[in-house]
Each structure stands twice: as C-alpha cells, then as structure tokens.
Amino acid sequence: MTTAKDLFIIAMDPGAECSVGQGDLSLALAGAELIDLIGAGTVAVDDDRIVPDAPPALDDRLATEAAAGLIRQTPYERIEDWLWRRGRDLSAAYQAALEEDGELTRRRSGGSPFGPRRVEPVDTPARRLAVSRWEEREPVLSALAAAVGIGAERSDDEPGLADEAVTAVVAAVHDAVMELEAVRQRRSIESAAFANLWRGV
C-alpha cells in the first residue's frame, strides 16, 4: 500500500471523528502521492518545483499514473500546481481503485435496510497496516491527516518530518486546503447575499 491509500483508508474509517470533504481529501492524496514519489527516488524537489528524476519503477497503478503525469520540461511544475491538477477528483479515483481491490465495501448506515450506503474499509492486511501507521503516529501520515482535519496536530515533543522536500509538500497541502476553504466561505457568503437580495431582505 501507499501513503495515499493509507490516508484514504484512515479518512473512510467509520470511527473517524469528522467527515472529510472530497476536495480536501483529494488535495491531501495528491500530496501523499508526491511524497511517495520522493521516497521512491522518482522525483526531487528544488525550492518549490517538482524535478523528475529516475524513471518510475512502481508496483501501484495509481502511483504509476501519478508518475506518468509529471511535467518533465523546465521550469517544471510547482508543488501547489501539482496538488490542484493531480488532485482533481482524486478521492473518487482512490475509492474506485480500493473498491475494485476489495479494500472497501458499501454498507447501509443505521438500522434501516433503506438507509444511505456508506463506504467503509474492509478488515484486510492493508487496512491493519494503515491503522498501525496511524496509531503509531507515523509523522507523514499524521501530518497529512491533520491537514484535512483528522486527528490532532502533532505536539512539539513528537518526531517531526525529517526531509525538507516532504516538509515542503505537507506545507503546500495545508495551504491548498486553507485556500479551498476560503473559496467555499466566499461562495457561501455570495450565495447568502444573492438569496437576501432575491427575497428583498
């Protein structure tokens, strides 16, 4: 499994404290993919640019797809631009892939057989590994989860992110999620103002 898949599984866990927005999760998944590509030696980060390095040798379909989508011409792509471009509908792609692999199932919420269906992780070795990383407060997974509101921010006495490139990606994910929330709030205010105008308030 990859960091992105582990993050998706944690976000879908029925015991999660809050529901994560699809847009927020998609941005974090794009960041997780980039961190995995850094770890695999497929890319390097120069300032805020993603520099393709060694040809990808990945055994994960979505990670391979991410690597194939890298921009290989100078001046290369900025991390923030990657998050928005790669992150478009990415949570839906991960949901489909994990359902196809038998890692997710759809269950009815509540006692009614006609209630809404909720996607939940299946108890598989992959889920147990993701939960283990989460319970051990693995720095990268914890930081990405915190960016979308899952769990608490890491305390100062916990080990942080050791790699500057990874730190830059996590910071960019935080910034992108905050930017998305600002857009949501602005649209909400505009919609409320339009509704008031329409009602003559």
What residues does each domain of the chain span? 3-199
* C-beta contacts of 69-78 below 8 A and 24+ residues apart: 70/37, 70/42, 70/43, 75/49, 76/46, 76/49, 76/50, 76/51, 76/52, 77/49, 77/50, 78/48, 78/49, 78/50
Per-residue pLDDT, 111: 53
Per-residue pLDDT, 154: 55
Structure tokens at 53: 């390095």
Per-residue pLDDT, 138: 92
Contact 17, 145 (CB under 8 A): no
Per-residue pLDDT, 156: 46
Q: pTM for this one?
A: 0.85
Per-residue pLDDT, 22: 87
Instruction: Say which DSSP state 43 is in.
Output: E
Q: What is the mean pLDDT of each run of 10 residues along the chain (201 residues)?
A: 90 72 93 94 93 80 92 94 96 94 77 62 92 92 92 57 90 94 75 60 52
Per-residue pLDDT, 86: 97
